[in-house]
Structure 1
């Protein structure tokens, strides 16, 4: 039986993670290692300045499940140290879309990237939500059934066929209004989804404090993940290569630098 690792950044008690476990039922032996708490926007952060604590958690459908008081990347590292080998890693189903080059901020995508750096074919999957407040909850108001359908479809294909040469992971985003008949678009990353800024506010004692807030971009280039999801209302599947080296002639660049 294939061995499947499932993690996320919404926490081990989120309904999206439970939906991911159910989505791959029968496809392999499922191991879950996920944060004990909400860890959105943690990127590839690792916990290096304190010990990690692990707690066994009952997750129906999983052979074993650990909650870790650390980041999604910590969870992948823990899983590989504890269980050594996996045939597929899945991160999600995330509450809220993860689009554009900003996926490096996402704990969901970063967990899949961490697994991919260890040679494990990986899938990050996110479900667009209709209201911002849903993004940081456990997903009690959200229907994951269609996202689960597409996750099973993609996971089964990857387990059967592997990923093409040069592809280390797939970043999948499902529209909030998708059905099982919704089309799939294979896309590239948009440049940006948000333009972060700072809001200054004043506390009751008159001291300023600051929130990082994101202003959503409204226009996206054809062929990008954001265009497919936001304009075409399709399921976006973006192939990701974790080698971020620019595709340029290295000799030309060397000559440019040494002259």
Structure 2
């Protein structure tokens, strides 16, 4: 399969090279098209107010825009014959409504779906085992080969630290994952500035991605469909079969 690999962290993230190697070792042709610098938490932002540029540096294509721009250039110019876009691996989970839809990693996969290709976003909690995350990612790639579901734009996968080995397809995204507040400070010039921050909540409804991820330590797979969040239980089963050597 021909795969575009992208991310929202740019070319210097330490997980990019291992990801490319893992996919190539499984026989896939990989083209890397990433933002030229860190673009985390940019969601579906895109560039209309200035020219887009793509330059090849050390085998990677670097784009002067957002993750969605990288995918748009990849599928319209650089690798129009690609069948799948893999976004990540992001260091930092994208759990809950705000993180899912605010994530540049997930947005890149959604952009692929909008353009008619399969999109897979993979994120991992800090401290999670990268080798296990890459094995799971590779299994999802194989499970997506030939997988068709009307309305499915992208799949967002999250791998927790201390992964239990369980795979879950939650029914919904947690809302209000963090108990955030606005902190006010004064800089040396006497001007006020603000910082948004707060701890993660400890309890979540059982049918949410946050409960499966934080309480059950399950790897979660959430479908992003044209009409909202959708379960992908059949894809999760296919992936589990791949990991168990059944396909």
TM-score (norm 1): 0.80
Q: Distance in 1 between matches of 2:124 and 2:202?
A: 19
| Higher Cα Rg, which structure | 1
The 8 Å contact of residues 173 and 210 in structure 2, kept in 1 or not, is answered as yes
Checking the alignment, whether the CA contact within 8 Å between 1:43 and 1:105 is kept in structure 2 is yes
Runs of 4+ in 1 over 4 A off after TM superposition: none
Name 1:124's counterpart in structure 2: 121
1:108 and 2:91 are equivalent in the alignment: no
Aligned to 2:205: 221
Instruction: Find the partner of 1:97 among 82, 93, 96.
Output: 93
What are structure 2's unaligned runs of at least 5 residues?
230-247
* Matching residue of 2:62: 67
Counterpart in the other structure of 1:251: none
1:229-248 equivalences under 5 Å are: 229-244=213-228
- Are 1:197 and 2:181 matched, yes or no? yes
Deviation at 1:6, TM superposition (A): 0.8
Task: Please list, as runs of the form range in 1=range in 2, the aligned pairs for 1:136-147 lying within 5 A after superposition.
Answer: 143-147=129-133
For this pair of structures, how many residues does the alignment match? 225
Aligned pairs for 1:30-109 (under 5 A) are 30-58=30-58, 64-82=59-77, 83-102=79-98, 103-109=100-106
Match of 2:134 in 1: 148
- Where 2:15 maps in the other structure, the secondary structure is helix
Post-superposition offset of 1:34: 0.6
Unaligned runs of 5+ residues in structure 1 are 59-63, 131-141, 246-259
Structure-1 separation of matches of 2:94 and 2:56:
28
Q: Contact conserved, 1:23 with 1:151, CA < 8 A, in 2?
A: no
